[in-house]
Amino acid sequence: MENLVSPGSELFAFFEMTPDLVCIAGKDGYWKKINSAVINKLGYSAEELYASPISSFIYHEDKDQTKRRRNELLEGKVLHNFINRYLTKQGHILWLEWTSIYFSDNEYVFAIAKDVTERKQMEREVEEQYLKYKGLATHFKTSIEKDRKYLAYELHEALAQLVAAVKMDIDWIATNETGLPASSKSRIEHAVEISKLLINTIQRISFSISPNMLDDFGLNITLEWLCKEFAILNKIPCNFEAAYNEDELAAEMKIDFLRFFQEALTNIIDVSRAGKVVIGISDQQDKFQLCISDEGDGIDLDTQRASEGLINMRERAAFVNGAVTIKKSQVNGTMICVLIPK
């Protein structure tokens, strides 16, 4: 193999003139032949490079994975687009992308590498910006949920209590003022019913804004309650099916799952004549799958894709790296699912 790139050989011109790093390495882990690009990129002399094992130039965090991939190479597996880091003589990190093949007859490795340092630096900058903005988004979402919890508390503990006090006064009047005319009694009875309705409405809005049940009883029980409320209010059967381990979810993820189902149930009422509704969470190995199916008349998929509810669901799913799909279910209705990485 080494003779193929000797002066006068057909490959010698390519070997020396290509800007890529080209080398021949022995099974013993030492370079046997290198082109000028290797010397220029790493900053060592040819003598220094030949005198030390190749592993001594590899960045310490990449040595183990490089060793594993090299063993695979020696077993006959061609190495494609393998990226690792080298340290130059000046102490700089050099990212190299390798394609290598092992010739067992000669016990030589022929390898070509591209310098992808600039690309990796750009990727890291993009990743840093992504993490920065994701951190800001997480902060804003946390702040919003905190404000929701405060508002829900005020609604439930303050406003609902005030309405309850008014109802008590009305009840007292109805019980103790026996001489009231029939028209006044009718008004009082109506006020009592309105007070009950108002208390129930405040409690329902409070739950929708920030359900304390989620903290107290967990996601599964909260979603079961959400289904029951949906069924009572809309006269549509609704069931929740759980095929996953809730303990694997962080508190923030539980909130995201709940918000998704709240949005999905609202969306069903807005855009379809729903029959039986089933919501569920299942474990798909490295992902969670959230699905909501409607066994009613179904809806036009083009209309659904453009609906505000689905847009909101897509945005919430995208925040947790999820992807939303929508399709016709097996019983004429519609199924909306989102896959979310664990």
pLDDT tens per residue across span 219-258: 999 899 888 888 887 788 899 999 999 999 888 888 888 8
E strand intervals along the chain: 21-26, 31-34, 79-87, 93-103, 108-115, 238-243, 277-284, 287-294, 323-328, 334-341
Tokens of 180: 């009231």
Predicted confidence (pLDDT) per residue in 100-140, tens digit = 999 988 899 999 999 999 999 999 899 888 888 877 777 77
Cβ atoms of 230 and 277 within 8 Å: the answer is: yes
Q: How far is CA 224 from the centre of its chain?
A: 24
318 vs 104, which has greater pLDDT? 104
238-243 and 277-284 strand pairing: parallel
pTM, whole model, 2 decimals? 0.49
**Can you give the pLDDT at residue 305?**
55
Supply 135's token pair.
């951190």
Question: Binning pLDDT at 50, 70 and 90, where does residue 176 land?
Answer: confident
Residue-averaged pLDDT of the chain? 83
134-154: average pLDDT: 71
Element (H, E) at 13: helix 12-17
Evaluate if residue 274 carries a pLDDT over 90.
no
Are the C-beta atoms of residues 79 and 99 closer than 8 Å to each other?
yes
Share of the chain above pLDDT 70, in %: 83
DSSP per residue, 129-173: HHHHHHHHHHHHHHHHHHHHHHHHHIIIIIIHHHHHHHHHHHHHH
In the predicted model, is pLDDT for residue 8 greater than 50?
no
Note the pLDDT of residue 87.
Answer: 96
